[in-house]
Amino acid sequence: MDTMWAPWRMEYILRDRSNTSECIFCEKYQQTDDQSNLVLYRGKLSYVLMNLYPYNNGHLLIAPYRHISDYTDLNDRERSEIAHLTSLSLSVLKKTVNPHGFNLGMNLGIIGGAGIADHLHQHIVPRWTGDSNFMPIIGHTKVIVQSLEETWACLRDQFTKLSLEKL
């Protein structure tokens, strides 16, 4: 069994949530500064953003605008758009960060592993051969070779190009 270590995520787990009354996914899509909110693409019913605490470079999230936690509460149009944005995101990542594979999925409910259980979201994690190495285990450090800002700029450009091609 492979283990994906992510000790750098402790910052997320231990952060102060006392003055956070709003859902982060509801908050992000309502903001207009896409770059500072790491929003890459806005659909009609859902959107794509980068994970602030990525497992790997290019770790994306897709969330519906509607605040729901249960996959079965998605309507057909939302489900269809999330599927479309998943395909678009995979294409963008293939063209920009050239991964060898992906982890794709949702953690539903706290017991299912969801860090934010109240708002449904899907993870797309690019993977490379050997991306789990000694650094996280021995050095307690995850090496991500590109800043979030640089990754955002590369991915945003490609989202714009690919989404226009598919219209």
Catalytic positions: 121
Fill in the amino acid letter for 119: H
Question: Contact at 8 Å (CB) between 101 and 90?
Answer: no
**Which residue matches tokens 């605008």?**
65
Helix 148-165 to helix 76-96 angle, to the nearest 10 degrees? 120
Q: Quick count: other Cβ atoms within 10 Å of Cβ 106?
A: 16
Contacts of 98 (CB under 8 A, 6+ apart): none
Name the DSSP class of 157.
H
